[in-house]
Every structure is written in structure tokens, then in C-alpha cells.
Amino acid sequence: MAHQAAVRSILATVCVLVGLFQACGGPPAGEAGLIRGKLCYPSEYIPAMTVYARDVDTGDTVTLEVPENTPEYELEVPGEATYQVFAWTVDGLGGSYSRFVTCGLSVECTDHGLIPVSVGAGQEVSGIDVCDFYGGPVPQP
């Protein structure tokens, strides 16, 4: 009989925990990830700009204001997601991390499609260079 009471107590505790888990929306959000890379611009200087990482599934966007002549960026994002990374200058010119960048920024490269960037929980992804200010389309902020 004591054994049955102990089992019932454990089951009740499990039910309460499951209920709380569901009421709170599931597991806690994953550990943040980090996207980093270079900033380029077709000029002698790099203008002030905003860098964006947009979740391709939800549309949620993380932004980073970058001052003039900043050659690199580091953007903390929620982990376990895939992002499009792009930027807009204060003058309204858009650039992105695209196939043009990974092709070498050469005139022979004609594909300006954005490259999805997958970031795991706690993962740092580097080499995401926002350097394609030559083609489009660049997502709107």
C-alpha cells in the first residue's frame, strides 16, 4: 500500500511538472549564437550602417548599428535558427552576404542570391562577410 501511495505521489508530481512545462510555452529558449564577419563597401571608406540577421522561418530580425569605418561586426542571435544576413547604409544602400561574396566578388560572378546562415545554440559562425553591394535584391529592413 505504501508503494502505491509513493507511485501516485510521483505521478502527481510528473503531471504538475508537465502542466507547468506546457503552460510556460515549452523548453527555455536555446542559448544564443554569434554571427561575425567583415563589412565591405565599394568606396574608400565604410559608411555607418545597420546589420540585420533575419530568421528565414519566423521573420524575426536582430539588428546591430555599426559606426562609420567599422571593418568587422559581431551579432548575437537566438540559437537554433537559420538567418539571412544583410545591411543597409544610412544613405539607403543595401548589401548582403550572398553567393557573389563566396564567388570572390568578381565581375564573372552573377549570382547575388543570399546564403542562409545556420546557427546552433551557443555556436559562433564566422566568415559571414556583408560585402555584396553590387546586386540585389536585398531584403528590406
pLDDT in tens, 13-44: 434 333 433 444 444 457 999 999 999 999 99
Q: Examine residue 50 and state whether it is found in any structural domain, yes or no.
A: yes
Number of domains in the chain: 2
Same domain, 54 and 116: yes
Same domain, 44 and 111: yes
Q: Residues 79-134: pLDDT tens digits?
A: 899 999 999 999 999 999 999 999 999 989 999 999 999 999 999 999 999 999 99
* The pLDDT of residue 29: 56
CB 133 within 8 A of CB 97: no
Dihedrals phi, psi of 10, to nearest 5 degrees: -65, -45
Supply the range of the domain harboring residue 118. 33-125
Q: Examine residue 16 and state whether it is found in any structural domain, yes or no.
A: yes
* The pLDDT of residue 48: 98
Tell me the sheet residues that pair with 38: 72
